[in-house]
Amino acid sequence: MLKANTLFSFDLKSFFKKILTIKGIYQQLPIFHEKAEQAVNCLSCASCCKNYSPRFKTTDIKRISKFLKLKESVFINQYLNIDLEGDYVLQKLPCAFLGTDNYCQIYDVRPSDCKRFPYTNEDVFLKRSQISQKNAEFCPIVQHVIQQISENYSLKI
């Protein structure tokens, strides 16, 4: 079993290229993902919520504002900025909704980016490999999935 944040500080580009040649790899991803989720405790990590912002799409903003009983404009002014890509992102990190116990205080209505992160059960995990490589630097779930692929298909990382 890999230790978090110790192994993927180098370029994974060639490894991801090799993964894409594996027949049936997309069907296997949810299985690897589930095993990784069972092995890793997000509540003892929260690296994503502490160091990176999700995008807040229009539907996210509507849902979260309603939950917080705030006008959407107030919610935006209070918590969000627009980044260089034109997306709404958090004004500050760690995320304002991360509790001291690492629980998300808006869990049921959290942004879709948060629900999907780290995308290891989705095609985009391999299709947007540059992002996945970046996520591998800090996310133990991504590291665990990569390790499983490496072991199952005898691929050297």
Identified binder of ligand SF4 from the candidate list 70, 104, 155, 157, rule CB under 6 A: 104
- For residues 59, 64, 69, 72, the Cα torsion angle rounded to the nearest 10 degrees is -50
Instruction: Kindly state the smallest distance separating residue 24's Cβ from ligand SF4, in Å.
Output: 25
**CA-based nearest residue to 149, from 6, 4, 20:** 20
Give the C-alpha separation, 134 to 118, whole Å: 11
Task: Out of 22, 68, 98, 157, point to the residue binding ligand SF4 (CB under 6 A).
Answer: 98
Q: How far is the CB of 107 from ligand SF4 (least distance, A)?
A: 6
CA 119, CA 134: separation in Å to the nearest integer?
12
144 binds ligand SF4 (CB under 6 A): no
Coil, helix or strand at residue 151: helix
Instruction: Mark residue 69 as left, alpha or beta (left: phi above 0; alpha: psi -120 to 50; beta: remaining).
Output: left
> Which residues, 36 to 95, sit near ligand SF4 by CB under 6 A?
40, 42, 45-49, 54, 95
Q: Which is nearer to ligand SF4, 14 or 74 (CB)?
A: 74
Place of tokens 């370029």: 11
Q: In this complex, which beta carbon is closest to ligand SF4, that of residue 18 or of residue 134? A: 134
Where on the chain is the footprint of ligand SF4 (CB under 6 A)? 40, 42, 45-49, 54, 95, 97-98, 104, 106, 110-111, 114, 117-118, 138-141
